[in-house]
Structure 1
Amino acid sequence: MTRPPFGFAGPAEIVFGRGRAAAEAAPRIAAFGARVLLVRGGSPARAGWLRDALRAEGCEVEEIAGQGEPTLAAVTAAAEAARRAQVVVSLGGGAVIDLGKAAAALATADGPPLRYLEVVGEGRPLPAAPLPFVAIPTTAGAGAEATRNAVVEVPEHRRKVSLRDARMLPRLALVDPALADGCPWGVTLASGLDAVTQVIEPWICSRATPFTDALCEPAIPRGLAALMRLAQGEDPGARDEMAWVALCGGLALANAGLGVVHGLAGVLGGMTGAPHGAICGRLLPHGLALNAARTGGEPARRIARVRGWIAGALDVAPEKAFAALDAWSTAQGLPGLSSMGLAPGERRAAAEAAAASSSMKANPAALTSAELEGMLAAAA
């Protein structure tokens, strides 16, 4: 069988394993430079182990906190702080990783960030390589530790857009599932559904490659099973599985593409401010159902296999799989789009904006704005 040409890019190095972060992070980071910008989540205490270990290595540590999705103002401030550093480290969820990734990229660039942002900015290429960047995720969802872009919220445009460059891939991705142990269920649910979406969409998209297939195909049922286990209570083995699935998703989306779920999610995130993972989780069953109705051939066969995996995880008949996933997510506490802040009158504008998004270009079927609006109504 003749394979279509493809490429594959990822972080310069990936280290994966329970307990590896505490053992290896500080000396590996110090090797990039002694002046460290540490970008963390909202809790100073959760970053204490890394801060202390870096200082024990002789590093000067400047620390900033990410608060929710990175905004243009936050990215601008973080980039200014990064100009005083030799290496940028993010310890946190996907939003924190994106903030650090953007800071490292813009620290070596001149002019305002809008010069380099897609959609709402000029979209210029970065003029120089970013500072060395190290990603240490503490949730299993976004896969941002393996991607070449950072998502930035621009409130005045009510949009989330990307800063993108192949050189933004981390120099080191240190994935330690233990860092997610004890993560609250609401965060686990939203990030876990995001991780599952990010192995499903690259697998069914029009740009799938043999390499991304090898990552996604086994990860889809593993991610579904692990998320169901975590719904029953804390489970280190399931945390390990979800960290692996999230990493696979980040690698796959960076090298293949996504689809309708992420095409809409980027727009809805900017309009509502709702968490990205929650939006993806709510849209996933409806996006699968829409694509199933609009595809044939190999894409339809792949969607049918996804349907089967979901049915197996939820112990329902295949024809009930997508509705059952929607119902399960609701029962587990995932809100609908209306509760996330999307008003019925905003659906048309969201659908029209999503139709032109970069993620939609890889969707396995060409969908109309009217179909997207209907999908939003179904996910309300």
Structure 2
Amino acid sequence: MSGLAESLAAAPVADIAFTAPARSLIGRGAKDQVAALVREMGQSVLLLRSASVAWADALRAELETLGLSVTVVTARGEPTADQVRDGVTQARAAGADCVVSVGGGAVIDLGKAISGLCPSEGDVMDHLGLGDGAAPKLATPLPFVAIPTTSGTGAEATRNAVIGVPEQGLKISLRDPRLVPDLAVVDASLTDGLPKDLTLATGLDALTQLIESYLSNRANPVTDALARGMIAAAAAALRLLMAGEDAVARDTMAKASYLSGLALANSGLGIVHGLAAVIGSRGGAHGAICGRLLPAALTVNRAALARAGMSVARCDEVDRWLRDGFGTSPRAFIDAQGLASLAELHCAAPLWDDMAQRALTASSTQANPVRLSFSDVRRILEISGEAAD
């Protein structure tokens, strides 16, 4: 054996386990291939849809023309345990052997949960770990197709479904690597013309996911590659969309959202999403919460890294990319666009101590680049809650 071969054999092996949809179609016109591909996955389709997405009607008609049985469920709001139960009941009654979600991240999460729980035993609460004893393992999920109509959550590329339990003030993720969609179809034409406020909130969610994945203590060369080349481009695209409709910018945001989902599924997130998980249980829009918290979180994380003697290079890269894309500071950009305040997002000052304490133990917080104290997390809320200059 050569000296080089001996060195390589002796070196520790660093494995990167990467999770992604089995197949992804990305680009304008991709939606035209959906019906034929669904026919290869099942004959009885549970079609989950947002009420506002007219294309879902065309998809249903095409599926039925191909001879498939289609049961339509209109999803409203973020999925709750009760909605999941209802969806599972309808899927079983219809004999569904395939689930298709057309809509935003909430619709996609609902579809993931139904695809996983329909063939499984036990109640959704048991699988969320809220029942007695250990959570049971899911059976093999039904084939699942995710077709996003917003550019934000990246749910079409992730392994978890966020489920609300309103009576307990909780949002909990149902997690399983097999919940990653079998097919993700990312067609930016389905996002054309979205309202400005929705475009802003979802776009900031995608940006935050890219940034937190890049800063994460679990980042790896693959997730770095996904995030590094997209942050400035996504910020610039979002800036363009705040000025007016732009098809190229829509395409960029659709790709950014998908890549952010891939990145977060393989590296984790950070304190912004840790806080957003507990704040969002009170009803505020997730993407708007992330966008409102992001500038302060970057500031506090950089200071904490410096105190710990750790590199701040990545924080400085992110700051530069955002300033280049937005044309100003992140805080100035979101304030100029009229993003909701922290108080408007149901997190006024009297709640900050409780929110900060709960965020410290949130699952997303564990991937933050540096361990934060209670006072650090509370400081993020304080800065975020300050009135614009």
- 1:189-212 CA-to-partner distances (Å, cap 9, x unmatched) read 000000001110010110001111
Q: Which of these residues, 360, 365, 382, is aligned with residue 360 of structure 1?
A: 365
The answer for the alignment partner of 1:267 in structure 2 is 278
Check whether the contact 1:116–1:122 (CA below 8 A) recurs between aligned residues.
no
The answer for the alignment partner of 2:4 in structure 1 is none
TM-score of the two chains, using structure 2 as the length reference: 0.92
Q: Which of these residues, 319, 335, 342, is aligned with residue 307 of structure 1?
A: 319
Check whether the contact 2:146–2:181 (CA below 8 A) recurs between aligned residues.
yes
Alignment of 1:337-352 (within 5 A): 337-352=342-357
TM-score of the two chains, using structure 1 as the length reference: 0.94
Q: Please state if 1:277 is matched with 2:282.
A: no
Partner amino acid for 1:41? S
Cα distance, 1:146 vs structure 2 = 0.3
In structure 2, relative to structure 1, the CA distance for the partners of 1:116 and 1:299 (3 Å cut) is farther
Partner amino acid for 2:236? A
Question: Which SS does the other structure have where 1:134 is aligned?
Answer: strand
Q: Please state if 1:47 is matched with 2:56.
A: yes
Alpha-carbon separation, structure 2, partners of 1:4 and 1:292: 28
Q: Please state if 1:32 is matched with 2:41.
A: yes
Partner amino acid for 1:373? R
Partner amino acid for 1:127? L
Q: Please state if 1:5 is matched with 2:15.
A: yes
Check whether the contact 1:205–1:299 (CA below 8 A) recurs between aligned residues.
no
Alignment of 1:232-251 (within 5 A): 232-251=243-262
Cα distance, 1:30 vs structure 2 = 1.4
Q: CA RMSD in A?
A: 1.7
Q: Which of these residues, 26, 33, 40, is aligned with residue 16 of structure 1?
A: 26
The answer for the alignment partner of 2:8 in structure 1 is none
Check whether the contact 1:159–1:267 (CA below 8 A) recurs between aligned residues.
yes
- 1:67-118 CA-to-partner distances (Å, cap 9, x unmatched) read 1111111111112222231100000000110011111111011111111115
Partner amino acid for 1:71? T
In structure 2, relative to structure 1, the CA distance for the partners of 1:231 and 1:122 (3 Å cut) is farther
Question: Which SS does the other structure have where 2:230 is aligned?
Answer: helix
Number of matched residues? 371
Q: Please state if 1:286 is matched with 2:296.
A: yes
Alpha-carbon separation, structure 2, partners of 1:66 and 1:224: 30
Alignment of 1:178-197 (within 5 A): 178-197=189-208
Task: Decide which structure has the larger Cα Rg and report it.
Answer: 2
Alpha-carbon separation, structure 1, partners of 2:225 and 2:132: 35
In structure 2, relative to structure 1, the CA distance for the partners of 1:369 and 1:3 (3 Å cut) is farther
- 1:215-261 CA-to-partner distances (Å, cap 9, x unmatched) read 01001111111101111111110011001111110001000110000
Same amino acid, percent of matched pairs: 45
Cα distance, 1:365 vs structure 2 = 1.1
